[in-house]
Chain A
Amino acid sequence: MADVPFIQLTGITKHFGGVHALKGVDLSVAAGEVVALVGHNGAGKSVLVQILSGVFPPTAGEIRVNGQMTTFGSPVDARHHGIETIYQTLALADNLDAPANFFLGRELKTTLGFLDKKRMAREAAKALIELNPNLVDVERPVRQMSGGQRQAVAIARAIHFDVRLLIMDEPTAALGPHETAQVAELIKRLRAQGIGILLISHDVRDVMQLADRIVVLKGGQIVGSVVPSESSEDEVVDMIIRGRRLPAGRAE
Chain B
Amino acid sequence: MTSPSLKALVIGLVIRTPLIPLLVLASFVPGFWSVGNLRTLAESVSIDGIVVIGMTIVMIAGGFDLAVGSVLAMGGVAAIVLLPYGLLASIVGSAVFGGLAGLLSGGFVTRLRINPFIATLAVMVIVRGATLAYTDTRPVVGLDDTFLALGGGYPLPYAFIAMIIIALLGHVLLSWRAWGRHVYAVGADERAAAMSGLAVSPIKLQCYGLSGLLAGLAGFLLAARLGTGSPIVGDATPLTAAAAALIGGASLRGGQGSIPGAMAGLLFVGSLVNLMNLLGMPSYYQRMVIGTMLIALVVIDGVLLRLRQR
Is the C-beta of B144 less than 8 angstroms from some C-beta in chain A?
no
Residues of B within 8 A of A114 (CB): 172, 176-177
> A92 touching B192 by the CB < 8 A rule?
yes
Is the C-beta of B198 less than 8 angstroms from some C-beta in chain A?
yes
Among listed A14-22, A28-36, A71-79, A220-228, interface-contacting one: A71-79
Given contacts A104-B181, A109-B178, A114-B177, contact A94 B194 (CB under 8 A): no
> A79 touching B188 by the CB < 8 A rule?
no
> A104 touching B1 by the CB < 8 A rule?
no
> A93 touching B192 by the CB < 8 A rule?
yes
Interface of chain B, helix or strand or loop or mixed?
A: helix
> How big is chain A's contact interface, by range?
20 to 34
Residues of A within 8 A of B195 (CB): 53, 55, 75, 85, 87, 89, 91
Scoring A residues 142 to 156 as 1 if CB is less than 8 Å from chain B, else 0, what string do you get? 000000000000000
> B177 touching A93 by the CB < 8 A rule?
no
**Which residues in chain A, 71-107, are within 8 Å of chain B measured between CB atoms?**
74-76, 79, 85, 87, 89-96, 100-101, 104-107
Is the C-beta of A113 less than 8 angstroms from some C-beta in chain B?
yes
> A74 touching B184 by the CB < 8 A rule?
no
Shortest CB-to-CB span from B199 to chain A, Å, is 8
> A75 touching B197 by the CB < 8 A rule?
yes
Residues of B within 8 A of A79 (CB): 197
Distance between Cα atoms of A61 and B175 in the complex (Å): 42
> A107 touching B181 by the CB < 8 A rule?
yes
Is the C-beta of A60 less than 8 angstroms from some C-beta in chain B?
no
Is the C-beta of B256 less than 8 angstroms from some C-beta in chain A?
yes
Is the C-beta of A115 less than 8 angstroms from some C-beta in chain B?
yes
Distance between Cα atoms of A89 and B194 in the complex (Å): 13
Residues of B within 8 A of A106 (CB): 197
Which of the listed residues B187, B191, B192, B199 has the most CB atoms from chain A within 10 Å of its own CB?
A: B192
Residues of A within 8 A of B197 (CB): 74-76, 79, 104-106
Q: Residues of B with Cβ closer than 8 Å to A?
A: 1, 172, 175-178, 181-182, 184-185, 187-189, 191-199, 255-256
